[in-house]
Amino acid sequence: MSLEFVQYPAQGEHKATVIWLHGLGDSGDGFLPVASQLGLPAELGVKFIFPHAPVQPVTINGGMEMRSWYDIKSLDLDKRADEQGVRESAYLVEQLIDQEVESGIPANKIILAGFSQGGVISLHLAPRYKHKLAGVMALSTYMCVPEKLANEAVQRDLNIFMAHGRQDNVVPFEAGKHAFDVLSTHNMEVSWQDYPMAHQVCMQELQAIAQWLVTRLS
């Protein structure tokens, strides 16, 4: 299978791509408005791709089917991300990145971004991807199998932008900090931002994201 998506075309010549993964129960449409809100300079030529996660049953929601990058069987942090599901979704997202590379966009002009569940996929895939990406944006998220990163990472100096809400009641603030610590220990170039918000994205954060994207893609 391949992922369906919505996209926001580059303003001008297409030179760079941001692939942005949504959270549990959302769809690519959820973050689509952000592309224009970021107000990136047209000369950067950034196209945004917002994939839709597959629809599947989610255990903690009584087995209800919804868009989800992986099943969540338990809220305990060390068991929250279903490893097999994470790997399957990472493979589907990898195909999207491959398509961009094959179309002529170099990997160092591709950003992998994700919110919550989408961030888990982004942090899992980017260090294991065959090409070094321009960067990773991991928002209000955590890591799947952090203990396996050392053996599986092929990219060891990725630039990673992390942000989290201090009042996040869905993904605990400490879970985000733990991911930051693990990545930092592996010599990744990680920056950390936190905001007085819950499990969401705020305006101040979007401004920081825009600045980071301009820096990474210029």
* Catalytic residue positions, numbered: 116, 168, 199
Q: Return the structure tokens found at 175.
A: 């879970």
Is the CB of residue 53 less than 8 Å from the CB of residue 25? no
Give the C-alpha separation, 208 to 218, whole Å. Answer: 15
Give the C-alpha separation, 73 to 51, whole Å. Answer: 23
Determine what percent of the chain falls in helix, strand and coil, rounding each to the nearest 5.
40, 20, 35
Sign, CA dihedral 211-51-133-80, equals positive
Sorted by sequence, the CB contacts under 8 Å of residue 158 that are 6+ apart come out as 126, 127, 132, 133, 135, 136, 188, 189
Nearest to 90 by CA among 55, 129, 60, 116: 129
3-state SS, residue 58: strand
Is the CB of residue 72 less than 8 Å from the CB of residue 80? yes
Q: Which amino acid is at 131?
A: H
Residue with tokens 């010599």: 187
